[in-house]
């Protein structure tokens, strides 16, 4: 049982990685080698057209992955990953299948690549120009949001030049370069998160770093959210240990938060907490401060800019789950991480290029319902348990 849970978690992510290629856009072949073309064609012919099967398969796979995650947490003391070396090795092992998977759940990766290409090859500003301004560009065949300029800050545009240049102008190499760049953001975040604990507390870290939503959205979809979050996390750590070398730490904190906000603006909401920590030379005696920061980063999910609770935005709140003290809030975030992945089910059923003949007007409504169903059930059950325990005490 001990090793089985670890092996099965790796196997499930490997299955997810293979299955992800079912969702490859019909105008894209990542590799032109015969074996890969045959593999991709087989998936397109035998799995993609099966509307009910592909949706059911994704549903069962997500449930199994989350069940495995929860069983790992439940049996933590019996596993052999509660030390630095083994935890890092296990995280890297389960990450690699996702790094080599297709970004089937989001096309943002292609926008990252093309925005960097605008700067390097066309000398254009992706915050002003759009992909449609380059009608001869072959990436237009499989990109989304080709009519809007880059929605991220200039900081991300600057950072994205590194993986683009490493790709040497070859699409597949650039694709992999951005994927490994995403893996780097995960490992750097782990390195910083470890600093918050004086002793090895890898169970707390596992709540975030082994969470399926985090792994799939950061590694498979290659979202850039950890590049925004880890500078803010490091700034919080420095503010929480502010008693020495204050001038240097002020410079570092300001620089780190400037970098974070220049990538995405969500971490602006953390500035009051950081200023308070600097004034008090610690994050504060109230043990729920990290819970409050997690809750604060939950608020932007309700804004119009978040486009109806996009799943990967939940990572903003989840980043503090290793430090949360309130068990109810921690469990609610885990429930949201499951429901947020299941939010893709209607999209799986109505894959855009497979559903021109279908009415998809209710898809967003279904996605909202799925996102909120499980957390709502958890809230109701928690309320009933609270009332029941209260009556028993009377």
User: For 284-318, how does the pLDDT look when each residue is reduced to its tens digit (9 = 90+)?
Assistant: 555 788 999 999 998 877 776 666 678 999 999 99
Global pTM value: 0.94
Structural domain boundaries in the chain = 2-105+152-393
Supply the pLDDT for residue 123: 93
User: For 142-159, how does the pLDDT look when each residue is reduced to its tens digit (9 = 90+)?
Assistant: 888 888 999 899 999 999
Termini Cα distance of the chain: 42
Q: How far apart are CA 345 and CA 367, in angstroms?
A: 8
Give 370-375 contacts, CB < 8 A, sequence gap 24+.
370/339, 370/342, 370/343, 370/345, 370/346, 371/309, 371/336, 371/339, 371/340, 371/342, 371/343, 372/339, 373/339, 374/335, 374/336, 374/338, 374/339, 374/342, 375/332, 375/335, 375/336, 375/339
183 touches 99 (CB < 8 A): yes
User: For 76-125, how does the pLDDT look when each residue is reduced to its tens digit (9 = 90+)?
Assistant: 999 989 999 999 999 999 999 999 999 999 999 999 999 999 999 999 99
Q: What are 310's two structure tokens?
A: 């996009």
Angle at 99 between CA 212 and CA 14, to 5 degrees: 65
For residues 32-54, give the mean pLDDT: 93
The answer, yes or no, to whether residue 185 has pLDDT greater than 80, is yes
For residues 130-152, give the mean pLDDT: 90
Best CA proximity match to 139, nearest among 157, 115, 114: 114
266 touches 152 (CB < 8 A): no
Q: What percent of the chain has pLDDT over 90?
A: 70
When pLDDT is cut at 50, 70 and 90, the band that residue 391 belongs to is very low
222 touches 245 (CB < 8 A): no
Supply the pLDDT for residue 280: 72
**Over the chain, what is the mean pLDDT?**
91
Query: Helix, strand or coil for residue 101?
Result: coil
Strand blocks (E) in the chain: none
Between 4-13, 154-163, 272-281, the lowest mean confidence (pLDDT) is in 272-281
Residue in the block written with tokens 């240049």: 165
The answer, yes or no, to whether residue 383 has pLDDT greater than 80, is no
Which helix (H) or strand (E) segment holds residue 266: the answer is: none
286: left (phi over 0), alpha (psi -120 to 50) or beta: beta
Q: How far apart are CA 257 and CA 274, in angstroms?
A: 10
User: For 328-356, how does the pLDDT look when each residue is reduced to its tens digit (9 = 90+)?
Assistant: 999 999 999 999 999 999 999 998 777 77
Supply the pLDDT for residue 381: 84
Angle at 52 between CA 48 and CA 56, to 5 degrees: 100
């Amino acid at each position: 049982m001990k090793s089985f849970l670890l092996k099965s978690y790796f196997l499930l992510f490997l299955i997810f990685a293979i299955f992800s290629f079912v969702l490859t856009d019909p105008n894209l072949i990542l590799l032109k080698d015969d074996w890969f073309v045959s593999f991709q064609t087989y998936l397109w012919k035998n799995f993609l057209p099966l509307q009910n099967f592909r949706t059911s398969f994704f549903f069962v796979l997500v449930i199994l992955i989350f069940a495995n995650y929860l069983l790992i947490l439940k049996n933590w003391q019996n596993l052999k990953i509660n030390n630095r070396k083994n935890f890092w090795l296990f995280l890297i092992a389960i990450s690699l299948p996702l790094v080599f998977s297709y970004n089937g759940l989001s096309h943002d990766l292609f926008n990252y690549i093309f925005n960097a290409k605008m700067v390097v090859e066309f000398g254009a500003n992706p915050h002003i120009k759009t992909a449609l301004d380059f009608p001869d560009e072959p990436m237009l065949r499989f990109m989304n949001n080709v009519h809007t300029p880059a929605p991220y800050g200039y900081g991300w545009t600057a950072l994205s030049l590194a993986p683009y240049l490493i790709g040497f102008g070859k699409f597949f190499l650039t694709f992999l370069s951005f994927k490994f760049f995403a893996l780097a953001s995960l490992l750097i975040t782990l390195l910083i998160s470890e600093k918050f604990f004086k002793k090895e507390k890898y169970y707390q870290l596992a709540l975030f770093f082994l969470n399926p939503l985090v792994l799939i959205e950061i590694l498979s979809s290659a979202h850039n959210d950890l590049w925004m979050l880890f500078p803010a996390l490091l700034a919080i750590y420095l503010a929480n240990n502010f008693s020495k070398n204050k001038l240097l730490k002020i410079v570092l904190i300001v620089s780190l938060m400037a970098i974070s906000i220049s990538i995405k603006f969500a971490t602006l909401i953390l500035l009051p907490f950081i200023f308070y920590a600097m004034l008090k030379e610690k994050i504060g005696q109230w043990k729920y401060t990290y819970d409050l920061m997690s809750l604060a980063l939950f608020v932007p999910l309700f804004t119009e800019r978040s486009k109806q609770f996009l799943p990967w935005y939940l990572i903003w709140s989840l980043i503090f789950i290793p430090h949360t003290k309130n068990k109810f809030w921690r469990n609610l975030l885990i429930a949201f991480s499951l429901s947020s992945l299941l939010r893709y089910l209607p999209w799986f059923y109505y894959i855009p290029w497979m559903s021109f003949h279908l009415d998809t007007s209710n898809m967003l409504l279904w996605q909202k319902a799925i996102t909120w169903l499980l957390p709502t059930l958890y809230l109701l059950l928690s309320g009933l348990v609270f009332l029941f325990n209260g009556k028993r005490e009377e």
